[in-house]
Structures are given as structure tokens and as C-alpha cells.
Structure 1
Amino acid sequence: MDNTSEQKTENQEKKKIVRGPRLNQKLKIMYLMKILLEETDEDHDLTLNEIVEKLKAYNVTAERKSLYSDIENLRTFGLDIIGMQYGKTYHYKVASRQFQLVELKLLVDAVQSSRFITEKKSDELIAKLESYASKYEAKKLARQVNVNGRVKTMNERIYYSVDKIHEALNEESQIKFQYFTWTADKKMELKHGGAYYSVSPWALCWDDEKYYLVGYDNREYKIKHFRVDKMADVSVVYEEREGKEEFSKMQMSEYTNRLFGMFDGNLETVTLLCENHAANVIIDRFGTDIPLMKTDAEHFTVRVRVSVSKLFLSWIMAIPGVKIVAPERTVDMMKSEIKRLQEMYL
């Protein structure tokens, strides 16, 4: 390398060294906002001298007079900065934020306890939620919800699947995907030999801590639902959705209410004879609009429209003081199920 080239390289390096602090200085107000958001909250504040010292860590110099102006500009921008005088010293803090701490705690709890979200994604989402709090409040978010034995989904692709389903819903288009199940040796096995399902998506719903796609099966010509975490290789097919007439006849809330664990069965109007204490469970499941008809001082009857599956029968078995009394075919199904269970444990 000749002297001219060497001198040119040296000058470029010097420019880089000078440019760093200068660029930081131009970003002074941004670093000031960062410091206030991270270091202050309702219970923690900073003096101007403390702010000056913290800015130095970002290679930013600041005079008290310029900080007054910057703080006022941040207030105009929308940051809720409060200045308080203790003796001769002013203290500054961010008093309110986009999310209250109690709201962040609820969101963290929901993410942490959700089976739908993988462990890895839970950690990522909680870290992002912590960024909406000060460093002191973030410590309060790093807590463990009591979810002993909670099984998290293992399908990391589920977020991309949901994104594709939403895209199809917005575009009113069809989707195709593969569907899998778990084998006894804990391996994923594609159903139907890996053949693709062709479905017109109409809704996403949440039931029993799982995410479901509700759509119209283009081959079987009927409404079906699929576990989103068991869908693979989801893609949008830009063809007009089918099943519009079928979905116009139904309400999604009624559809999910009548299914137990999203298990299909014959749709029936079932009459239940219940002891009064069971009203709480019945109302929790079917809502306050359902009529409870008093039978005597200790009992009431209720008629529910449900898909009669083995899971529904198990749900009835688990509620003390609740008995199916009609229709007769559903009563017979319950008797057969009880007999089957008895034979299993004899």
C-alpha cells in the first residue's frame, strides 16, 4: 500500500471515530426518552444530574438548559413526564404508559399459561411485553403462573399457519394443508398418506385452550373444524371460498357451544334433570340466557342443543346430580358408555 492510500484509509477511520459521537448527539432526545422509559415509573424518578450521567453512557453530552427543552418536546410528543421538586432539586418520571402494569401482568399470565404457545415463543413474547415497562416493573412481570404439568404445543410453525389462515380470511380465499396426528412412539404422522386438505376457511375459534379453524371442506361438502397446531404446510389458494350458504345459517357462538372439546357428534336437543347446585356449571357452559325450568324444590330441567359425543357424555358423568332424561337414544348412548367403562375395569 502506497503512502497516499495509507493516508486515505487513516482519514476514513478518523471520520468514523468522529461520526459515532456526533450521530449519538443528534439522537439525544431519543436516548433521553429511552432512559426515562426504562429507568423511571410511578415509584422511581431521576434528577437532571442523573439523566446527564446516564446520557454519557451513550456518548451523549447534555446541558441542563437543553434537557428542559427536550423534556418539554417529549411531553408535546405525548410522553407523560411529570416533574416534581424536592427541596431545590427537580425529579422527573414517566407517570403513565401505553399499558398499565396490571394489564401487562394479565397478558404475561395469558401467554405463560397458554398451551397454544410454545415455550420458546412464550419467552420471546414475554420479553417484548417487558419492554413496555420500566426495568423495575419488568422484574414484577418475571413471575411464574401456577401451571403445573401444563403441556405446551410443540409445533413452532403454528404462528405461520395462523398468519396464512388470516390472510385467506381477509382475501376470502381457500387454503390447503396437511394434517397430522401423534403416534405411540411420539412421531408426527401425516393423515391420509400426506394428502392435502382443501378447505374454505370461515373462522378461527378458541376452545379448551386450543385454536381451531372452522371451515367448509371442499371435498366432503360440509362444515368441519381442524386443530391449527396439527396443521402443516398451510398455503393460500387464491380461489373463491365455498360454503357461504352453510355459514350464513349458523352463528359461531352457537356452533362452539354445542361442541364439547370440538368433538363432533349427532346434533340433538337434550333434556337434563339437574339438582339445584348444578345451576352454576350449566350456566357457566351455556350462558345466562338458557331457561332453567323448576321441577320441584330440589331440581330443575334444562334443554340444551349439543353435539352428542363421548366427550359430552363424560362431561355429564363428571357433574354430580345431573341426569340425561331425553331423548331416549341419547339415554341409551349413556347406558352403553357406562357399560363399556364397567367392562374395561372389571
Structure 2
Amino acid sequence: MISLIYLNYDEQEAGKVPRGSNQKFKLYRLAQIMMEQTDDDHYITMPEIIEELAKYDVTADRKSVYADLRDLSILGIEVEGEPIGNRYHYHVVSRAFELPELKLLVDAIQSSKFITEKKTNRLIKKLETLVSKYDAQELQRQVFVSGRIKTMNESIYYTVDAIHNAISENKKIKFQYYQWNVKKEMELRHNGAWYHISPWGLSWDDENYYLVGYDSEAEQIKHYRVDKMLHIRMSNESREGKEYFKKLDMADYAKKSFGMFRGKEQTVKMQVDNRLAGVIIDRFGKDVMMIPTDEEHFTVKVDVHVSRQFLGWIFSLGEGIKIVGPEEVVNQMKAECERLMGQYQLPQ
């Protein structure tokens, strides 16, 4: 609600004020001034508002500004006036986003590997327009928290948009896929062959964006790093693999695939130190069943895609965790241990 106080005004004086050349932008400029220069801690007086409007070649008087401030509520901009000393001070009291919410969005954008540095800065600049210039400084400081590795594929926005369009149109997509070589050059995989995939969803894992789709030729679900997809186009063919995705939980799929690397899905039983209970819950969720085996350990069974990435995760937790079944996975871990010992064996 706008709280404004009308002051005495001489109606005859209104006709003596020359109109500026940009009068038609008056309400827009007033909204811009209030949004940029005021917040819960920063106010602006009526003379200052009129002075700021004049910088845009917009003339104004007190009575018209009062009316315009009321009209801002139609645009969703709520302004309040508070008496401080012998003057009223005005400020915006509500916005679409609170500053802590925007900080969360900035952090998410900044930490996303699949968004380029250029696009990151552009997005954050747009977010800054949603707060006052004072609060925008806090968002700017957020940008320099850390220099994370970012993708160099500028077309990712259009790739994501193309994927969503294909899903909406129930069509397959075609694209080429690349990797980096030792010369730091983009190198098309499979000699530039086109991938023909039925897109069913997108997954964000380990700060990367993945397309999850059905490969009809291989007759299986596969995933692809979105920032490594090139020259994407929609196919005329309808999507396939619906029966697979009807029973696929995308969140569960990402949880089972460590780093989105695939492997044979198996139920793995592990013995874990109690001190690592939080690690297990963080990875597999609170619904995971942890059965005490003694005062210091518990066992847990989880469904995972057994890959080197999963085994590497087990290695990273040291002696606090041990795979105890099934035997096939235990043997895979033993083989991986032997491989590493051979790889790092000191020369005789």
C-alpha cells in the first residue's frame, strides 16, 4: 500500500512549469529512480525525486509526482512515505525478489560449470537490476567469491532451449559431440558422427548439465554433457523409449550415477563407520536404511551404477567404509586396488 501525504499546492503554478521533451517516459523514469535509489535503508525526498526526473529531461511538480507514486502500485511497485524531520522520505517497500534470494541465484549461476563466464556476468548484471544500486554492490561482491572453471561453449543456452522444444514437440534431436584433446582443441567424437537421441529430460549433477535420453540403436538410456553438444537440431522422427522413462525417476537416476558415469546397476552392501553416517545420508537421502552391526559401525544397501567413479568415491572415504557384497563388486574393488598398486609401483 502506498502511504503518501499531499502538501498544499497552488494549482495556478502548474501551467507555468515548462514540459520536458521526455514527459511520456515520466512514469517509467520515476519507477527506475525509485527502484534503483531506494530500499529499506535508503530514502529519497520529493525535491530529490523532481531533481532526478529533470536529469532525464522530465519536468514534474509535487502534485503530479504524488499521483504517479500511487500509480506505481499498478505496476507492482509499492512506495511508502515516512515523515523524517520536516520532510517526507520515500522508498520502495517490496520487490519481486529479496536480496538473500538473489544471492542464492547468483551463487547458483556462478558455480554452474555449464554457464560461460560471459553469460554468467550478463545474467548477474540482469539480477542486479532487481535491487537498488546499494544492494547491487553486495551482489557484485558475490561474483568474486571464487574463480570457478566454466565451459567455453557459448551456444549452451540455445542447446537447452532446443532440447526443451524437442521434448515439447515429442521429437528426436540430432547433434555432434566433442571432447578436448591434449592440444586443448575441440575434437568431435566418433569422427564427427551425428548422435540421434530421443530427449526425455535434463539433469544437473556435480555442477554440470546433462541431457538424459534414449538411444534407439543401442536400446538403452544414455546421458550427455549439454555443454559438449554441438549443432543441435530437431529431427522429424518422433521420440522413442517412453516405456523406459515411465519407470525412470530422474532424481534417483542421477543419485545412482556417480558423476553421471554409467555402469551396471547393482545393490551394493557396505559396512560404514558411524562417523560417516552424514556422508551416506547426504549422498543417498534420509530414507536409506542403516542397520547397526556394533557400537561403531552400521551396514547399508544402496542401488548404484558400479563404475570406477563409484569405486573412487569409496576410496576417498578411506578405512571408514568397506564394500562387503555382492562378491562381483568386491572383486571389482580388489581388481581396482591391484591396478592402482601396479600403476604406482616403484621401479626396481
Do the structures match in fold with TM over 0.5? yes
> Following superposition of structure 1 onto structure 2, how do residues 238-253 of structure 1 map, counting pairs within 5 Å?
238-253=236-251
Partner of 2:344: 345
Specify the SS of the correspondent of 1:261: helix
Partner of 2:30: 32
Q: Give identity over the alignment, percent.
A: 54
Partner of 2:45: 47
Partner of 1:123: 121
Shift of 1:297: 1.2
Distance of aligned partners of 1:147 and 1:219 in 2 relative to their CA distance in 1, 3 Å threshold: farther
Partner of 1:139: 137
Shift of 1:58: 0.7
Specify the SS of the correspondent of 1:288: coil
> Following superposition of structure 1 onto structure 2, how do residues 149-228 of structure 1 map, counting pairs within 5 Å?
150-228=148-226
* 1:336 equivalenced with 2:321 (yes/no): no
Specify the SS of the correspondent of 1:142: helix
- Contact 2:290/2:300, CA 8 A, preserved across alignment: yes
Worse-matched range after superposition: 124-133 or 232-241: 232-241
Name the CA distance, whole Å, in 1 between partners of 2:51 and 2:179: 58
Name the CA distance, whole Å, in 2 between partners of 1:106 and 1:114: 12
Shift of 1:158: 1.1
Q: TM-score, normalised by structure 1?
A: 0.91
- Contact 1:36/1:94, CA 8 A, preserved across alignment: yes
Shift of 1:68: 1.1
- Contact 2:176/2:193, CA 8 A, preserved across alignment: yes
Name the CA distance, whole Å, in 1 between partners of 2:197 and 2:275: 43
Distance of aligned partners of 1:145 and 1:22 in 2 relative to their CA distance in 1, 3 Å threshold: closer
Distance of aligned partners of 1:140 and 1:298 in 2 relative to their CA distance in 1, 3 Å threshold: same
Shift of 1:87: 2.7
* 1:277 equivalenced with 2:275 (yes/no): yes
CA-atom RMSD, angstroms? 1.4
| Residues 283-337 of structure 1: CA deviation (Å, up to 9, x unaligned) | 1100011111111111111111111100100101111310001111111110110
Name the CA distance, whole Å, in 2 between partners of 1:277 and 1:65: 68
Partner of 1:86: 84
- Contact 1:113/1:145, CA 8 A, preserved across alignment: no
Moved over 2 A (4+): 75-78, 144-150
Shift of 1:116: 1.6
| Residues 212-255 of structure 1: CA deviation (Å, up to 9, x unaligned) | 00000122121111111111001111321100111112221221
In the alignment, residue 296 of structure 1 is paired with which amino acid? D
Shift of 1:76: 4.1
Shift of 1:150: 2.4
* 1:254 equivalenced with 2:252 (yes/no): yes
In the alignment, residue 213 of structure 1 is paired with which amino acid? L
Name the CA distance, whole Å, in 2 between partners of 1:148 and 1:141: 13
| Residues 51-76 of structure 1: CA deviation (Å, up to 9, x unaligned) | 11111111111111111111111134
Specify the SS of the correspondent of 2:233: strand
Name the CA distance, whole Å, in 1 between partners of 2:124 and 2:145: 16
In the alignment, residue 343 of structure 1 is paired with which amino acid? G
Q: Which runs of 5+ in 2 are unaligned?
A: 1-18
Shift of 1:22: 5.5
Q: TM-score, normalised by structure 2?
A: 0.91
* 1:302 equivalenced with 2:300 (yes/no): yes
Q: Which runs of 5+ in 1 are unaligned?
A: 1-20
| Residues 83-121 of structure 1: CA deviation (Å, up to 9, x unaligned) | 011232111111111111111111112212221211101
Number of aligned residues? 326
> Following superposition of structure 1 onto structure 2, how do residues 77-116 of structure 1 map, counting pairs within 5 Å?
77-116=75-114
- Contact 1:113/1:147, CA 8 A, preserved across alignment: no
